[in-house]
């Protein structure tokens, strides 16, 4: 049954198209699961960078499809942005699974930490990508001392089964569920910023609201969430989303300076 859930939870795009879109600056790391994971860095990594960002993309997309989005983020936020693919996505080896996805995210974290040991890492997870982002922010990287400095969640899910069956499904089918952010969110201590469309038919906005409520109780502080009226899952207004993230990072920087 768990294999069935995994099959429906992970929907990688056509791999042939991904190979055609592979960017020249992509590097590969090997995860603890033994998968070869592509990482694309957009923006120069400078010695004075105080922040770097790891972007965890959504379902049915890969690095080739989000390259321009990563470039825009790097330009707007004036920081290096790292994107990567999950096993079975793009040019990554392996088969899609929650464990493989989390192992890939951890490998990317360690790669980025090795390149920028003094920089603070911001995690950005969209939709399915909220799973690995929350996993890392909750301490799934290198332990308590290496937790993220900020977490951005766009259209996040409470759990995989919960997106289809709601809260009853989360409870009754917990043993076969995937991406259970609802269980991990209380362990996230870094600042949190959540963005969600009110008319999301894929991951209902109630998921974002529930995660925001948990973050408000446990995170060091939370940015005012952005509930985008009338928008769905795949038609989010990018300018508004990016501007909100920019505001979040500005507050984060000021808070760190005051601290």
pLDDT of residue 2: 44
Q: Which residues are catalytic?
A: 127, 200, 233
Give buried/exposed letters for 12-21 (b at 16+ CB in 10 A, else e).
Answer: bbeeeebeee
Domain of residue 53, CATH code: 3.40.50.1820
pLDDT of residue 142: 64
Taking residue 188's Cβ as centre, other Cβ atoms within 10 Å add up to 28
pLDDT single digits (tens) 157-207: 999 999 988 787 787 888 889 999 999 999 999 999 999 999 999 999 999
Give residue 129's pLDDT: 98
User: Token digits for 189?
Assistant: 């201590």
Structural domain that includes position 77: 2-258
Q: Give the integer Cα–Cα distance in Å for 123 and 83.
A: 10
Q: Which two tokens stand for residue 64?
A: 């080739």
The number of distinct structural domains making up the chain is 1
Look at residue 166 in the predicted model and tell me its pLDDT.
79
User: Low-confidence residues of the chain, pLDDT below 70?
Assistant: 1-8, 16-17, 19-24, 141-146, 256-259
**Predicted pLDDT at 56:** 99
Q: Are 100 and 51 a contacting pair, CB within 8 Å?
A: no
The pLDDT of residue 150 is 98
> Looking at residue 239, what is its pLDDT?
97
Q: What is the pLDDT of residue 143?
A: 56
Burial class, 143, CB count within 10 angstroms (exposed 0-12 / middle 13-18 / buried 19+): exposed
Tell me the C-alpha distance between 32 and 34, whole Å: 5
Check residue 144 and give its pLDDT: 47
Q: What is the pLDDT of residue 44?
A: 85
Instruction: Write down the pLDDT at residue 82.
Output: 97
User: How far is it, in rounded angstroms, from Cα 223 to Cα 251?
Assistant: 8
pLDDT at position 23 is: 65
């Amino acid at each position: 049954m768990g294999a069935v859930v995994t099959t429906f939870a992970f929907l990688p795009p056509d791999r042939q198209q991904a190979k055609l879109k592979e960017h020249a600056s992509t590097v590969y790391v090997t995860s603890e699961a033994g998968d070869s994971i592509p990482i694309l860095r957009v923006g120069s990594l400078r010695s004075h960078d105080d922040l770097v960002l790891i972007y965890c993309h959504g379902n049915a997309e890969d690095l080739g499809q989000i390259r321009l989005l990563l470039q825009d983020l790097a330009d707007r936020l004036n920081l290096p942005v790292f994107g990567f693919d999950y096993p079975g996505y793009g040019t990554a080896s392996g088969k899609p699974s929650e464990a493989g996805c989390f192992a890939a995210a951890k490998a990317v974290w360690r790669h980025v930490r090795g390149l920028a040991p003094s920089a603070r890492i911001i995690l950005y997870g969209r939709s399915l990508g909220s799973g690995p982002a929350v996993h890392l922010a909750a301490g799934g990287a290198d332990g308590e001392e290496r937790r993220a400095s900020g977490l951005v969640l766009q259209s996040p899910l409470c759990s995989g089964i919960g997106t289809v069956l709601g809260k009853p499904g989360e409870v009754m089918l917990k043993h076969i569920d995937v991406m259970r952010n609802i269980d991990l969110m209380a362990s996230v201590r870094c600042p949190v910023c959540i963005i969600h469309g009110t008319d999301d038919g894929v991951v209902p906005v109630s998921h974002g609201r529930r995660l925001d409520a948990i973050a408000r109780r446990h995170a060091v502080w939370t940015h005012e969430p952005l509930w985008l009226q009338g928008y769905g899952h795949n038609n989010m207004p990018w300018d508004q989303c990016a501007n909100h993230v920019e505001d979040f990072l500005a507050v984060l920087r000021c808070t760190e300076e005051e601290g």
